[in-house]
Amino acid sequence: MSAYLNTRVSLFRARLWHPGDFRALLDAPEEEVERVLRERDLAELAPGYASRDVLSLEQRIIGRVLDETWVLLRPMGGAARAFLLYWTQRFEISNLKTLLRGKMTGERPATLLSRLTPMGPFARLDGEDLAHAEDVAELFRRLEAGAYAGIARQARQAFEESHDPFLLDAALDRAYYEGLAQRARPLEADLGADFATLMGHYLDRINLVWLLRYRFNYHLPPAQVYYLLVNTHYGLSPARLKVMAAQGDMAAVLAALPDKTRRLLEGAADIGEVARRMEQRRLDAAEAVLRKPGAACTRAFAYLTLRERRLREARVVLRGRQLRLPRQAIEATLGPRLVDTGGS
């Protein structure tokens, strides 16, 4: 099965967009955009582009990621399968947030339903039923009787005390990523250092960016910031996170990072830049994993990481074009690696 999965990942890898593909999409005249997308195996994004339906475009991207995840899951079993299945559930957590926010603002069920991402065979939430809940309290009661009972209970407890949508989102995110970290841990022994590196870069990025945002954008006290972070054992250990959360400004937080990460973030002036560099480190690690032979499940995870990212970057170009943004602005968002004329 491992050989089959490795072959599958190698075949899928050819679908990843290269700088040349992004340039072709940037250069194409308006009437050629659909053709460019079809030629590059993203035919399903073309109708979304034509109808200028932003939400539909996002849903199609996630739909493609889910389809490919489904194919990669087939030969998997045990903890690796459980991990990857859980990884896809972050889209459903996003649906859950949409439902909760919709209920808070009194949105109609049909509007809410149109904003949910179809999860296909991964669906565990009954969107139709939940969208028709009368209010947030009823929605929580229904959620607590379903597949996300644990996460929903924690979120409700946090929400009932504060009634703050931001804290509700934070509770949901934290509960989800705690679950992800727990599922990743037993895999590290089987899948080796590459998997631990990918997970480490992923969760360290999440923790660092959250810490900076909670601390300096939302001005939460250090104790609460620390509580909202994901408990992991990667580069940013709990002990270090405690120290970082207690710092009074961003520079001090960055100075408290481990050496390697501190060097990576040297000169980063804002949280956006920190997020970009941390994300790039994660993508570089995923590319390195894909380039060499290794555990098939790790390569599958690396592929899906890169695939989702590239699809979102394709969406950046499409959205930029729809909004008639200057080409330089789109290129700046993509970053030099994807628009470098020297690329293949």
Partner 1 sequence: MFRAAPMAHVTLWLLASEAQDAALLLARHGAFAPAPADGTLPDSPAAAYREVYLEARSRLDKLLEQDGAPPSQVPEDAAAPTLAGLGLVNEELKLIWQAYSAVSEQAAQLQEARQRLAVMRESYARLQGLRLDLSRLFQADSLLATRIGTVPTGNVARLKESLALAGFVLSVFDRHQDQVFAVAAGPRGGQVAGLLSQAGWRDMEIPEALRTRPEAARRYLEDEEARLGAALTANRNMRADYLSRHGERIAEARLQLALARPLAEAAPVGVRGQGQLAVFTGWVPRSGLEALRAALAARFHGRVLSDIRYPDMAEAARVPSLLRYPAWLRPFSPLVRAYGLPRYGELDPTLPFALGYLLLFGAMFGDVGHGAVIVLLFLALGPALKQLLWVGVAAGLASMVFGLLYGSVFGFEDWLPALWISPMHDPLRLLAVAVGLGAVFIVLTLLASIHNHWVRGHGAAALGAANGLAGLLFYLGALAAGASLAGLVDWGLAGALLALAGLAGVALHAGLENHAPWGERLLVSAIETLETGINLFANTLSFMRVAAFSLNHVALAMAVFTLAQGLGQVGQGAALALGNGIIIVLEGGIVAIQAMRLMYYEGFSRFFSGDGVAFLPLRLEK
Q: Which residues of this chain interact with partner 1, rule CB under 8 A?
A: 108-110, 129, 132, 134-135, 137-138, 141, 153-154, 157-158, 161-162, 167, 170-171, 220-224, 226-228, 231, 238, 242, 245-246
Q: How far is the CB of 164 from partner 1 (least distance, A)?
A: 8
Looking up tokens 């459980």 gives 82
Q: How far is the CB of 309 from partner 1 (least distance, A)?
A: 30
Contact by Cβ (8 Å): 57, 45: yes
Residue closer to partner 1 by CB (options 132, 309) is 132
Q: How far is the CB of 150 from partner 1 (least distance, A)?
A: 9
Q: How far is the CB of 238 from partner 1 (least distance, A)?
A: 7
Residue closer to partner 1 by CB (options 2, 162) is 162
User: With 0-12 CB in 10 A as exposed, 13-18 as middle and 19+ as buried, what is 150?
Assistant: exposed
Residue closer to partner 1 by CB (options 10, 154) is 154
Q: How far is the CB of 216 from partner 1 (least distance, A)?
A: 16
Q: How would DSSP label each residue in 26-63?
A: HHS-GGGHHHHHHHTT-TTHHHHHHHT-HHHHHHHHHH
Could you tell me which of 269, 266, 267, 229 has the C-alpha nearest to residue 245?
229
Q: How far is the CB of 106 from partner 1 (least distance, A)?
A: 12
Q: How far is the CB of 259 from partner 1 (least distance, A)?
A: 24
Contact by Cβ (8 Å): 17, 40: yes
Q: How far is the CB of 232 from partner 1 (least distance, A)?
A: 12
* Separation between Cα atoms, residue 203 and residue 329, nearest integer Å: 29
Residue closer to partner 1 by CB (options 91, 214) is 214
Amino acid at 80: A
DSSP-assigned letter for residue 258: -
Contact by Cβ (8 Å): 317, 25: yes
Residue closer to partner 1 by CB (options 110, 269) is 110
Beta strands in the chain (DSSP E): none
Q: What token pair was written down for 255?
A: 């100075």
Radius of gyration of the chain (CA): 21
Residue closer to partner 1 by CB (options 228, 317) is 228
Residue closer to partner 1 by CB (options 193, 252) is 252
**End-to-end Cα separation, the chain, in angstroms:** 32
Residue closer to partner 1 by CB (options 51, 162) is 162
* Separation between Cα atoms, residue 298 and residue 182, nearest integer Å: 16
Residue closer to partner 1 by CB (options 34, 178) is 178
DSSP-derived 3-state class of residue 91 = helix
Q: How far is the CB of 138 from partner 1 (least distance, A)?
A: 6
Q: What token pair was written down for 292?
A: 């060499």
Neighbours of 332 (CB within 10 A): 12
Contact by Cβ (8 Å): 177, 203: yes
